[in-house]
Structure 1
């Protein structure tokens, strides 16, 4: 059996989809469906069982619970960067992850987990998987960073397949439930449909309007990396998962407008509360990923946004009718 935590979320549900496409349905999906609309993410997927996160955490304390586990894809977390209840965040992201990690080691199961590029803070020291580059600036980022640190202590002393993925700016299908935290491609698409304009921030940090850059990575590429490590259990460590190329918000907006064959860009004033606390640039150093043996090319923004909008403006609405 394969376990996917956060399995009704964005990346988790896409991992389940990809496993299904491989013919794998012996999957335990773990989530916390307070937002019941997330069921639209998994209504077309095949799993063996569903379990609430709280029940799952309790069950893994039992040595007889699920003895035949091949792998755990741990995607579940409190992902709100605005959550400052440190006790809550550490309990959900750090303590939970530690317990699950040790459970996997005891079961000799692969443990692949979601870290985050947020551990690099404002990125002033670069985006390498290197302690010198890491300086989290919110509780979410700190919880991910500290778990990476814990994993680093264990890696030299265990043969278990343990892999952490520092996701950069992921976009793609099954993210509608994220609301304001959904990708810029999602928001630009809605704005062009409803207002014929994509709204971008004006320039900041010496950059021209809309020229802030991110490493935008399509969720299909993220999933492919996860499954590659499932197929290569001899690899372990912590890796950046991005394209390795920063592209501007203007490029994303223009790709959306080109897909719709209409629309324009409107630049809005840069928010005062974000000044001094905004990443104007991110770009993953994926040299570690390449050294591990993952050689597949990543989609650029134009290709990725086109693929996403083909899905978002057709099939997506049947899964999320309230989003029309």
Structure 2
């Protein structure tokens, strides 16, 4: 059995989908469906069972899974709202919960692959290399991820079992509809143009021209490929960037959506005061460590990934079924 926490969420459901493509269906999905819209992400997936995240942890702590035949845990579940300011809630969800699962995996001697975040690099002034001198959290979400990364680093090599953390950069693609304002700009731009003729991008900030702030945009299908690479290579542990290694502008994403729909114009709006000093105007993964580990799956550029994503949005509103 493979366990996927956050399996009804964006990246988690894509991971389950790609496991299904490999013929894997003995999957336990762990999630929280308080946001009922996430059920749509499960419709096109094959899984053995589903359990609420609170009940799951209670059963883990009670030893109910001690005799279960578990191959790996993909821990994708977390509070990913960067505008959430309740630090106690964030640490309980993203740090304490993760610690419990990590020690369960170590005791069970199963692979543990978890979601970290590129937000741990802060404004990126020191670069985007998997080193402490590059890390600086700008909000409590980023801190919760960084704090867990540091906890993990203390335990690397325990029982010689795989522990892998993946620092996700700007992920976009199918099954993110439920994320609302936290959904990718590709999704936001597509829906803006479906509703009208204008895409709204931020004016320039931090020395960047209008719409020229740059991010390492990575297609969610490539994120799944990276996860599965580590599943297939249980001898590899560590914390790795999960990005393309190439920064592209918000204008590039907008133009890809305009090209797909065959219409649209861009309007630049004032940069929000609330985001000043808390915004990453530039991100670009250093992919050297990931490539050195042996990953050869490649990455889609914005033009290719956004075009495919827009086709899925056209056909199924962004779902696999």
TM-score, length of structure 2 as denominator length: 0.97
Preserved CA contact (<8 Å) 1:25 1:48: yes
Aligned counterparts of 1:297 and 1:46: Cα–Cα separation in 2: 26
Q: Paired residue for 1:49?
A: 49
Aligned counterparts of 1:9 and 1:193: Cα–Cα separation in 2: 24
Aligned counterparts of 1:157 and 1:232: Cα–Cα separation in 2: 17
What is the CA RMSD across the aligned residues, in angstroms? 1.3
Preserved CA contact (<8 Å) 1:118 1:136: yes
Preserved CA contact (<8 Å) 2:117 2:169: yes
Q: CA deviation at 1:43?
A: 0.8
Q: Paired residue for 2:107?
A: 106
3-state SS in 1 of match to 2:125: coil
3-state SS in 1 of match to 2:157: helix
Aligned counterparts of 1:89 and 1:171: Cα–Cα separation in 2: 23
Q: Does residue 199 in structure 1 map to residue 197 in structure 2?
A: no
TM-score, length of structure 1 as denominator length: 0.96
Aligned counterparts of 2:238 and 2:76: Cα–Cα separation in 1: 17
Preserved CA contact (<8 Å) 2:137 2:146: yes
1:1-324 to structure 2, matched below 5 A, reads 1-65=1-65, 66-316=67-317
Runs of 5+ unmatched residues, structure 1: none
Count of paired positions: 320
Aligned counterparts of 1:241 and 1:312: Cα–Cα separation in 2: 24
Aligned counterparts of 1:260 and 1:119: Cα–Cα separation in 2: 35
Aligned counterparts of 1:177 and 1:250: Cα–Cα separation in 2: 24
Preserved CA contact (<8 Å) 1:78 1:89: yes
Q: CA deviation at 1:33?
A: 0.5
Preserved CA contact (<8 Å) 1:203 1:209: yes
> Residue deviations 1:33-87, cap 9 Å, x none?
1011100001111111110011100011133515200000000011111222211
Preserved CA contact (<8 Å) 2:3 2:29: yes
Aligned counterparts of 2:98 and 2:273: Cα–Cα separation in 1: 36
Q: CA deviation at 1:125?
A: 0.7
Aligned counterparts of 2:152 and 2:118: Cα–Cα separation in 1: 16
Preserved CA contact (<8 Å) 1:14 1:174: yes
Runs of 5+ unmatched residues, structure 2: none
Aligned counterparts of 1:85 and 1:270: Cα–Cα separation in 2: 24
- Give the 3 Å change call, closer, same or farther, for CA 167–206 of structure 1 in structure 2: same
Preserved CA contact (<8 Å) 2:312 2:318: no
Preserved CA contact (<8 Å) 1:40 1:319: no
Preserved CA contact (<8 Å) 2:175 2:318: no
Aligned counterparts of 1:62 and 1:167: Cα–Cα separation in 2: 32
Aligned counterparts of 1:289 and 1:107: Cα–Cα separation in 2: 26
> Residue deviations 1:16-40, cap 9 Å, x none?
1011111110010000110111000
Aligned counterparts of 1:77 and 1:111: Cα–Cα separation in 2: 15
Runs of 4+ in 1 over 6 A off after TM superposition: 317-320
3-state SS in 2 of match to 1:158: helix
